[in-house]
Amino acid sequence: MAFSLDQFSDAFRRFKFSLSSKDGESVLGVDIGTATIKVVQVKQVKGSAVLETYGEIALGPYANAEVGQAVNPPVEKISEALTDVLRESNAVSKTAGFSVPLSASLINVITLPTKDPNDLASMVPIEARKYIPVPVGEVTLDWFVIPEEEAKFLSAQGEKKENTSDVLLVAIHNQMLQKLQTITQAVSITPRFFEVEPFSVGRASYEHTALPTMVIDLGASSSRVYVVEFGIIDRAHTIGRGGQDLTLSIAKSTGITFAEAENLKRDKGLGTSESGSAGLDFIFSEARRIFLTYQRKEGKAISQVVLVGGGAALKGISEVAGKYFDTRVVIGSPFDKLTTPAFIGDMLKGAGPSFASAVGLALRALQR
């Protein structure tokens, strides 16, 4: 099972989704991160995507580590953890979309001097070699042509050369695809697709607009920064610090264990310690540098910053982030994309930012 942009190119462009006309089977979105596995099961009911169940499990204990720590357990342990979270959340679907981490992929928008589909088919694999730092045989490639309307917005000041095509190029390491295939076989789930995480995160967190939006995904081992313009991922950066680093800083400054620091961080948020906040300051300082560089080079203002990921659930996070960006800062609310029971609305609002990728995967899995 490979991955394909063809299956979602139209929906990806504007991060919209269109459901089939009939109610269908339940499907899963499965997000395997470095610290947790998250699953979301949805079903189409009368034209709406309805949340059936969701769950999260920490990977630390499966690698002799603490909850909240970023780990890299063997495939067998990941499969065991996925089996456990599916059972504990009462998820029963055997069809799913799976996330691919940004670290195992490469995303680029390239411009080629032709509009002819046959010429593009032969040119893209050759041009891709310029952007991929490993042998082409070690990755799986896919691409699609960005429509003219979107391409004009991506071009600086709206200028675009005639008889050229802007192409979204995506490459995924074959080792990662093989790893995911092994996991899906072990848990007896049929993968409908594998998708690089910026796409699923964007689908669940981003409302279509012609103005650029920055999405900051605050993960456990790292933070990812995406600039989305007219529905296209125009920039993708990784900052090598995340929630785990905040916990380690708190533990060191207060003399408590990692587990105690993790609980303290979740309970009290950013008022826990100055060192914890300092770690977050580094992340937002780097994101601000990306923010300002983009605006200066492209001559366009970023309209808003959306925070997602586990770190976006920390108390006081939006206030801290707001000091770094001269624009609106909001917390992503992915579960708003689904029909959910009203009585768990507050719970979903709090959990939502960390389930952005899983929700986005589930939404795409509903598409026929």
Cα distance between residue 329 and residue 215, in whole Å: 10
Beta bridge partners of 107: 170
Positions of the chain with pLDDT lower than 70, given as ranges:
1-23, 149-160, 271-277, 368
What integer pLDDT is reported at residue 8 of this predicted model?
39
Q: Please give the single-letter amino acid code of residue 262.
A: E
**pLDDT of res. 147:** 82
Cβ atoms < 10 Å from Cβ of 343: 7
For 331, phi then psi, to 5°, come to -90, 130
pLDDT score, position 146: 85
User: 0.85 cut: is pTM over it?
Assistant: yes
**Cβ contacts of residue 17 below 8 Å, gap of 6+?**
11, 49, 203, 363, 364, 366, 367
Q: What is the pLDDT of residues 26-80, one digit of tens each?
A: 999 999 999 999 999 999 998 899 999 999 999 999 999 999 999 999 999 999 9
Domains of the chain in start order, with CATH, are 9-248+263-366 (3.30.420.40)
Backbone angles phi, psi at 213, to 5 degrees: -125, 140
Using DSSP, state whether 127 is helix, strand or coil.
helix
CB 264 within 8 A of CB 250: yes
What's the pLDDT tens digit per position in 211-264?
899 999 999 999 999 998 877 788 899 999 999 999 998 898 889 999 999 998
Tokens for 287, please give them.
């994101």
Structure tokens at 223: 């933070």
Distances (CA, A) of 303 to 64, 211, 229, 284: 43, 6, 10, 17
